């Protein structure tokens, strides 16, 4: 980002000029550098991704890790919110072009970390944007408490259900897909 560091608001067009070795998100034009996930975070993400990937094999939807998402894409690339959720499920192949998801995915999973929790949780900027963009299902995984908040979009607002480490979680946007949380928490290394 170097010489643009003094700029106050960024767009997706700006993002495209930045160093590929750095990971950034834009939220309302503000740039956030993303740190590398911890091994614990990666294990959780990998397990959820793996369970979804196995279910989706041969089906029309696809699951992605760290896919860049333009929630409100504009043709002129002046949109100013670009996120990189831990996991995204996309069922509309037409949204995948230019190496990004252009528009809201069907499902987003965010795994809390100390540096991102404020944005990911209810009341946070990402939570608000996912809701406004119309992401049908948004999961917030809390590694410390071993819980998952599943938020389902109903009439433009999220309705949440909390699951603990002993429960199976049905994926609403993928009928028949169930994530085995007891298996996940028994297999990840802290």
Domain extent listing, the chain: 2-187
Q: What is the pLDDT of residue 135?
A: 98
Q: What is the pLDDT of residue 2?
A: 46
pLDDT tens track, the chain, 190 positions? 444 454 679 999 999 999 878 889 999 999 988 888 889 999 999 999 999 999 999 999 999 999 999 999 999 999 999 999 999 999 999 999 999 999 999 999 999 987 666 666 667 899 999 999 999 999 999 999 999 999 999 999 999 999 999 999 999 999 999 999 999 998 877 7
> Would you report the helix, strand and coil content of the chain in percent, each value rounded to 5?
25, 30, 45
Task: Tell me the two tokens of residue 102.
Answer: 């252009």
Neighbours of 93 (CB within 10 A): 10
Q: What is the pLDDT of residue 126?
A: 92
Q: What is the pLDDT of residue 117?
A: 64
CATH assignment of 2-187, given 3.30.390.10, 3.90.1570.10, 2.115.10.20, 3.90.100.10?
A: 3.90.1570.10
Bridge partners of 30, per DSSP, are 27
Is the distance from CB of 52 to CB of 127 less than 8 angstroms? no
Bridge partners of 7, per DSSP, are none
Question: Which pTM does this prediction carry?
Answer: 0.92
Q: What is the pLDDT of residue 42?
A: 94
Q: What is the pLDDT of residue 114?
A: 76
Could you give the CA distance from residue 15 to residue 31 in angstroms, rounded to a whole number?
9
Q: What is the pLDDT of residue 3?
A: 45
Is the distance from CB of 169 to CB of 138 less than 8 angstroms? no
Q: What is the pLDDT of residue 188?
A: 79
Q: What is the pLDDT of residue 22?
A: 82
- Coil, helix or strand for 49? helix
Q: What is the pLDDT of residue 8?
A: 79
Q: What is the pLDDT of residue 131?
A: 97
Task: Tell me the two tokens of residue 187.
Answer: 């297999």
């Amino acid at each position: 980002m170097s010489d643009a560091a003094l700029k106050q608001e960024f767009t997706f067009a700006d993002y495209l000029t930045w160093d590929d070795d750095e990971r950034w998100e834009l939220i309302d034009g503000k740039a956030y550098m993303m740190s590398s996930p911890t091994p614990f975070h990666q294990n959780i993400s990998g397990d959820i991704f793996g369970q979804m990937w196995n279910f989706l094999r041969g089906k029309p939807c696809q699951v992605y890790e760290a896919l860049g998402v333009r929630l409100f894409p504009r043709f002129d690339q002046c949109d100013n919110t670009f996120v990189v959720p831990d996991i995204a499920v996309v069922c509309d192949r037409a949204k995948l072009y230019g190496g990004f998801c252009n528009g809201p995915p069907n499902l987003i999973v965010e795994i809390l970390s100390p540096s991102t929790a404020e944005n990911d949780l209810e009341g946070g900027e990402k939570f608000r944007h996912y809701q406004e963009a119309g992401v049908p299902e948004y999961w917030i995984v809390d590694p410390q408490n071993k819980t998952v908040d599943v938020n389902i979009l109903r009439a433009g607002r999220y309705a949440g259900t909390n699951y603990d480490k002993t429960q199976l979680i049905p994926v609403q946007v993928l009928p028949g897909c169930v994530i085995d949380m007891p298996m996940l928490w028994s297999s990840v290394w802290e």
